[in-house]
Amino acid sequence: MNDRELLERAGERMRQDMRPPEEIMQRVHRMRERRERARKVGTIVVAFAVAAAGFGGLLAAFLGGRPERSAGQPTGTVTTANVRNLGLAWTGRFAPAVNTPNGQYPVLPDRPVVGDGMVFVSSFTTIYAFPQDCNVRAGLCAPAWSYPIGAQQWYMSQPAVFGNQVFVTAVGQVSGSNVVGSDAHLYAFPVACGTDGSTCRPNWTADLGVGQTLGVAVSGDGTVFVDGYSQSTSPRTGFLAAFPANCTGVCHPLWKLRLGGAVAAPPLVGEGVVAVSVESTSPSLLVFPTACRGNPCASTPAPVAKIALSERFYPKIIWSGIIIGSTPDSVAAYPSACSGRTCRALWTSLIPDTWGSDFSLYSGGYVMVPSPIESGHQVRLAALPVTCPRGSCQPAVQATVPGGRLTARSGNVIFGAGSGLFAYESGCLAAGKCPSIWTGIKWGSAVDGVAVSGGTVYATSGYSGLLYAFDLSSGPMRAPLSIAPPKWAGPPLGWVIGAGILLIFLVASALALLAKPDRMPLSVRDLWRGPWGATALLALCVFVFFAIHLDLVHLHFGSGLVQTTMTASMMRYAAFVLVGTAIATAVGWRRLLFFVPAVVYSIAPGILGGGDLTCTNRDPIAIGSAWMTRPTCYGGVVYLRQLSVRGGLLGILTDLALALIPVLGLMLASHLKGRVQAPAPKGNSAASTIAVAIWATVLVVGASQLASAGQHPLDPMHRLGTLVPLFVAGAIVGVSQRRWWWVLLAFPVLMDGALADTLRQTL
Amino acid sequence: MPAELPSFDAFFRAESARLARALCLITGDPMEAEEVMQEAFVKVLERWDSYPPIRDPKAYLYRTAMNGFRRGRRRAAHSSRQDPPLQSPDAFARVDERDAVVRSLRTLSPRQRVALVLTVMLGYSSEEAAAIMRIRPTTVRVHASAALQALRRSAGEER
């Protein structure tokens, strides 16, 4: 007997003590059924948990948080010693907390204006008056009164207060026409118009004709100045009109001057003059005396200065006979009175991009000029001596400061607003960098205006539709406010699509789990191979790209928020890829795995929309992060797109959570079942790639054309520009059969969309 | 799809007796052998019609069984350290002890037993056995050789 037989005999003897084979086989089948059941239950629980997380992200993004509420009275003066005691006293709503059905934001508030015990905020369509000493008992401070200009109106200027009246100009479309013509009006309201939130009746109004008006200013002697331009003439004709503040009924101007071209900015009043900037083929700055000769005015005043400009000019400050303002790429100073050869610039300073900045005057004759810097979310504040020598003016000091281009001042405390609300000390300017000594609203939250009156700081945000009042008796704050994204009030398109996508994912999971539970070859290890590894590499590429090109992005947009938009876009793509891969794996189309990134990316915009955001439309591809984008619209035109960091991150998480639902299900099931290998690409990959490429291209181009017919902003050529490199890369990957070549698919994507636009515009 | 594969039940019938004998020798306990075998067949059944198909179901079965045996031993060693088992008289064990082959196998380490059964009784090459045991082929040969010498000594005594 050899060794083998010896062993077999011994083994056979022992085997006699075991159960019969048939019984063992039945037990094996029963055990397998039990385990499969347990796995299904576990996977479904995890899938639903992730789905709940996804919904939670959406809810958080949609509903956001409410600002803290407290009550307080404005007291004292804000100084560096007590600025940290500033706390939220109350908030006042000047716009709905929801978006309008067509996706257009209804408001873009100007700087809040304080006067005669009231705070005034004008939105696109309505002026609101809040009492300065608002005593909040239950939630928001109710406005004392308001005045809705009318549904047709869509722009209202910053209010101006004089005596016991507040003035505002408004422009609206002429009934029956489109945007070519518009009516402009001047309104004068009593400051104490009401206390119960009623609609105020104006003391008087003035018809400014068909055209645009840029703003209103009041001189110390009670003359109200309005400038604007007519749209009914070509070239446009500007005007400057003066009205008596004590007018009644329908007011007629004391005088009205026709100017050679459209005006570039609101009128600037001070030191007995009113300055108006005219932009035409030969731009000019005209300065008139505010005082009127005769009563009523015998004639229109003659200019005390008529200065030829080389480019458009926005006058912002007048001090000691000098008018300081912005040109598109510099700051310039002109005399407020001159004749002949003296009528030219006193000095210029090459500080770019200050058109939308607040200038403020400081003791010692310095004008503070905020300007965006190329990287980071801070701005540079330069102190220019008003009495700079002729020629080029250099800042006396300049420093990097937090906040934004909107500034307000209380003593030696400066409040910077724009991307959040911060305070810093003016003395730090000499050090070159000003750290924040108080934060009222977190960075990343859009603040549209800031003002200080006594011990109270007021800030407005169209993002939340709220006026925030911070005072010394309500602080210190536990944490800065974070302005939440607005709620959606339109048809629940996003919800429907989001739920639909979620349902698809759940169905995919269910298919994988219930229909073919044994055909899930994914494992945790496989996540770093093939398409999964490609996705990880893609994400890595995106972030490396951002790291390298950070300054490039800032150079154009001047805002770090753009990165979030692009990151969200890339992550959305990655999410789609994950979903497509999971579905293809679940249903057994393993060959398709290698085309999923290209196919999914191509089909999704065709089916779901362009993924862009306009004033009148939100494309349904915005399943996550793009829901949080914020267009700022002027008359239906997107002026600026912003995205809050919080909203963007929530969007990314939402996308990923949605995408990971089936993936987690597959992973879990696979993990419970044991590890197996994903196959390498073989055979007819290249042919399949080309076939799928043709199919997807036809589909996407067709869908694009349909979408274009429906005025969707989806450009077929733009899509083709994306598709071609995608499929070339896909074909190379298919032919090469090298897994790491998946990374090639990242490059065409990187060149798509916002990033490509950025590069194009920057270069 | 693994179209060339037989049905699982046929596979079970073909392989169960052989695997049972091997496991009996390796574990030295028919009850433990039955448990390990059952677990190994469940795992094979779960993978039976999955994608990609199992290339060599028999090898997969033995690898899974050996892994299960190793895991079981590790778990038993851990629990015996925490809670030493009572020594109870076992009639079956006493009968087994009468078998010199089984008795000599008990003196071997688990690895030697596995190496011996895989190479001598089941006829795997040392490379194949190494893949199943996840050790080097030379180690398999060393273990199998030592185990074989012990077996032959005991077989000589029995004869």
Give pLDDT, residue A371: 84
Cβ burial of A102 (10 Å; 0-12, 13-18, 19+) is middle
CA A666 to chain centroid, in Å, comes to 37
The reply to whether residue A35 touches residue B51, judged by beta carbons under 8 angstroms, is no
- Is the CA virtual torsion A192, A196, A201, A202 positive or negative? positive
Give pLDDT, residue A577: 62
CA distance A525 to chain B (A): 16
CA distance A36 to chain B (A): 9
Q: Which of B9, B15, B23, B25 should we substitute to test contact with A (largest number of A Cβ atoms within 10 Å)? A: B25
Give pLDDT, residue A599: 53
Q: Which residues on B lie below 8 Å from A7 (Cβ)?
A: 21, 25, 101, 116-117, 120-121, 151
CA distance A20 to chain B (A): 10
The reply to whether residue A17 touches residue B155, judged by beta carbons under 8 angstroms, is no
Mean of all residue pLDDT scores within chain A: 67
Greater model confidence, B143 or A589:
B143
Q: What is the mean pLDDT of residues A693-708?
A: 44
Give pLDDT, residue A617: 35
What b/e sequence results for A513-526 when a residue is b if at least 16 CB atoms lie within 10 Å of its CB, and e otherwise? beeebebbbbbeeb
The residue type of A738 is R
Rg value, chain A, Cα: 33
Task: Give the pairing of strands A391-392 and A347-349.
Answer: parallel
The reply to whether residue A25 touches residue B25, judged by beta carbons under 8 angstroms, is no
pTM of the model: 0.52
Extract the runs of DSSP E, i.e. beta strands, from A572-694.
629-634, 637-643
Which residue stretches of A412-529 are H helix?
493-510
Q: How far apart are CA A538 and CA A532, in angstroms?
A: 10
Q: How far apart are CA A84 and CA A480, in angstroms?
A: 11
Nearest to B50 among A8, A14, A518 (CB): A518
Q: How would DSSP label each residue in A186-226?
A: EEEEETTS-SSSEEP--SEEEEEEEEEEEEEEE-TTSEEEE
Give pLDDT, residue A636: 37
Which range has highest mean pLDDT (A195-199, A497-501, B40-44)? B40-44
Give pLDDT, residue A574: 57
Nearest to A519 among B12, B24, B51 (CB): B51
For B47, the closest chain A residue by CA position comes to: A518
- Is the CA virtual torsion A659, A660, A665, A671 positive or negative? positive
The reply to whether residue B99 touches residue A18, judged by beta carbons under 8 angstroms, is no
For A4, the closest chain B residue by CA position comes to: B121
Greater model confidence, A571 or A739:
A571
Confidence grade of residue A332 (pLDDT, cut at 50, 70, 90): very high
Q: How would DSSP label each residue in B51-112?
A: SSPPS-HHHHHHHHHHHHHHHHHHHHHHHHHHSPPP----HHHHHHHHSHHHHHHHTS-HHH
Q: How far apart are CA A170 and CA A146, in angstroms?
A: 14
State the DSSP H helix or E strand holding residue B154, giving kind and residue range, or none if neither.
helix B137-158
Instruction: Give the three-class secondary structure for A421.
Output: strand
Give pLDDT, residue A587: 57
Q: Which residues contact A575 (CB under 8 A, 6 or more apart)?
A: A624, A655, A656, A658, A659
* Phi, psi angles (nearest 5°) of residue A585: -70, -40
Say whether pLDDT at A225 is over 90.
yes
Q: What is the mean pLDDT of residues A4-25?
A: 84
Q: Which residues on B lie below 8 Å from A13 (Cβ)?
A: 99
Greater model confidence, A582 or A215:
A215
Give pLDDT, residue A726: 52
Q: Which residues on B lie below 8 Å from A37 (Cβ)?
A: none
Which range has highest mean pLDDT (A83-92, A178-187, A612-621)? A83-92
Say whether pLDDT at A622 is over 70.
no
For chain A, percent of residues with pLDDT exceeding 70: 51
The reply to whether residue A11 touches residue B24, judged by beta carbons under 8 angstroms, is yes
Q: Which residues on B lie below 8 Å from A670 (Cβ)?
A: none
Nearest to B41 among A13, A28, A679 (CB): A28
The reply to whether residue B42 touches residue A35, judged by beta carbons under 8 angstroms, is yes
How far, CA to CA in Å, does A489 sit from each of A98, A103, A150, A494, B20? Answer: 5, 9, 20, 11, 69
Q: How far apart are CA A208 and CA A186, in angstroms?
A: 7
Q: Is residue B134 left, alpha or beta, with left meaning phi > 0 and alpha meaning psi from -120 to 50?
A: left
Q: How far apart are CA A757 and CA B70, in angstroms?
A: 60
Tokens at A160, concatenated = 């101006």
A111 contacts A121 by C-beta, under 8 angstroms: no
The reply to whether residue B45 touches residue A11, judged by beta carbons under 8 angstroms, is no
Tokens at A230, concatenated = 């007519």
Give pLDDT, residue A447: 83
Greater model confidence, A205 or A627:
A205
Extract the runs of DSSP E, i.e. beta strands, from A344-488.
347-349, 360-362, 366-372, 379-385, 391-392, 397-401, 406-410, 413-425, 438-446, 449-453, 456-461, 466-471
CA distance A28 to chain B (A): 5
Q: How far apart are CA A546 and CA B33, in angstroms?
A: 59
Q: Which residues on B lie below 8 Å from A8 (Cβ)?
A: 21, 121
Give pLDDT, residue A507: 53
The reply to whether residue A3 touches residue B152, judged by beta carbons under 8 angstroms, is yes
- Is the CA virtual torsion A523, A526, A528, A533 positive or negative? negative
Mean of all residue pLDDT scores within chain B: 79
Give pLDDT, residue B82: 60
Treating both helix axes as pointing N-terminal to C-terminal, what angle do A550-557 and A530-548 enclose, rounded to 10 degrees?
Answer: 60
Bridge-partner residues for A243, per DSSP? A224
The reply to whether residue A27 touches residue B45, judged by beta carbons under 8 angstroms, is no
A499 contacts A152 by C-beta, under 8 angstroms: no
Confidence grade of residue B77 (pLDDT, cut at 50, 70, 90): confident
Q: Which is nearest to A672 in space by CA: A530, A514, A511, A517?
A: A517
A144 contacts A128 by C-beta, under 8 angstroms: no
Give pLDDT, residue A264: 85
Greater model confidence, B6 or A314:
A314
Tokens at A504, concatenated = 């698809």
Q: How far apart are CA A326 and CA A333, in angstroms?
A: 9
The reply to whether residue B43 touches residue A521, judged by beta carbons under 8 angstroms, is no
Give pLDDT, residue A217: 92
Q: Of how many residues is chain B composed?
A: 159
Give pLDDT, residue A476: 83
Q: How far apart are CA A547 and CA A513, in angstroms?
A: 40
* Phi, psi angles (nearest 5°) of residue A657: -65, -40
Bridge-partner residues for A251, per DSSP? none
Tokens at A736, concatenated = 């090469």
Give pLDDT, residue A530: 43
Greater model confidence, A125 or A635:
A125
Q: Which residues contact A30 (CB under 8 A, 6 or more apart)?
A: none
pLDDT in tens, A121-132: 987 778 899 998
* Phi, psi angles (nearest 5°) of residue A342: -80, -10
Q: Which of B54, B120, B145, B154 should we substitute to test contact with A (largest number of A Cβ atoms within 10 Å)? A: B120
Confidence grade of residue A585 (pLDDT, cut at 50, 70, 90): low
Give pLDDT, residue A353: 77
Cβ burial of A622 (10 Å; 0-12, 13-18, 19+) is buried
Question: What dihedral angle (degrees, nearest 10) is formed by the CA atoms of A485, A487, A491, A493?
Answer: 40
The reply to whether residue A28 touches residue B52, judged by beta carbons under 8 angstroms, is no
Give pLDDT, residue A668: 53
Which range has highest mean pLDDT (A476-480, A576-580, B52-56)? A476-480
Q: How would DSSP label each residue in A302-327?
A: PPSEEEE-SS--EEEEEETTEEEEEE
Give pLDDT, residue A145: 92
CA distance B101 to chain A (A): 7
Q: Which residues on A lie below 8 Å from B45 (Cβ)?
A: 28-29, 32
Cβ burial of A444 (10 Å; 0-12, 13-18, 19+) is buried
Q: Which of A195-199, A264-268, A314-318 has the lowest mean pLDDT?
A: A195-199
Give pLDDT, residue A109: 64
Helix (H) and strand (E) counts in chain A: 12, 37
pLDDT in tens, A721-762: 545 555 555 555 544 544 444 445 444 444 444 444 444 444
Treating both helix axes as pointing N-terminal to C-terminal, what angle do A530-548 and A561-586 enclose, rounded to 10 degrees?
Answer: 170
pLDDT in tens, B112-145: 889 999 998 888 898 988 988 888 999 999 999 9
A415 contacts A457 by C-beta, under 8 angstroms: yes
ipTM of the complex: 0.81
Which range has highest mean pLDDT (A421-430, A506-515, A653-662, B93-102)? A421-430
Nearest to B46 among A10, A14, A32 (CB): A32
Which range has highest mean pLDDT (A165-179, A392-406, A567-581, B79-93)? A392-406
Tokens at A352, concatenated = 């770019």
Half-sphere exposure of A710 (CA within 13 A, CB side): 12
Question: What dihedral angle (degrees, nearest 10) is formed by the CA atoms of A720, A721, A725, A727?
Answer: -10
Q: Which residues on A lie below 8 Å from B53 (Cβ)?
A: none
Give pLDDT, residue A404: 78
The reply to whether residue B17 touches residue A21, judged by beta carbons under 8 angstroms, is yes
Give pLDDT, residue B138: 92
Treating both helix axes as pointing N-terminal to C-terminal, what angle do B57-82 and B126-133 enclose, rounded to 10 degrees?
Answer: 50
Confidence grade of residue A119 (pLDDT, cut at 50, 70, 90): very high
Nearest to B43 among A10, A16, A674 (CB): A674
Confidence grade of residue A178 (pLDDT, cut at 50, 70, 90): very low
The reply to whether residue B45 touches residue A29, judged by beta carbons under 8 angstroms, is yes
pLDDT in tens, A509-567: 455 445 444 444 444 444 344 444 444 444 444 444 444 433 333 322 333 334 444 44
Q: Residue holding tokens 């965006």? A: A372
Q: Which residues of B touch A (CB under 8 A)?
A: 9, 12-13, 16-17, 20-22, 24-25, 30-31, 33-34, 37-38, 41-43, 45-52, 92, 96, 99, 101-102, 105, 116-117, 120-121, 123, 148, 151-152, 155
Q: Which is nearest to A736 in space by CA: A745, A746, A749, A723?
A: A745
Q: What is the mean pLDDT of residues A344-367?
A: 84
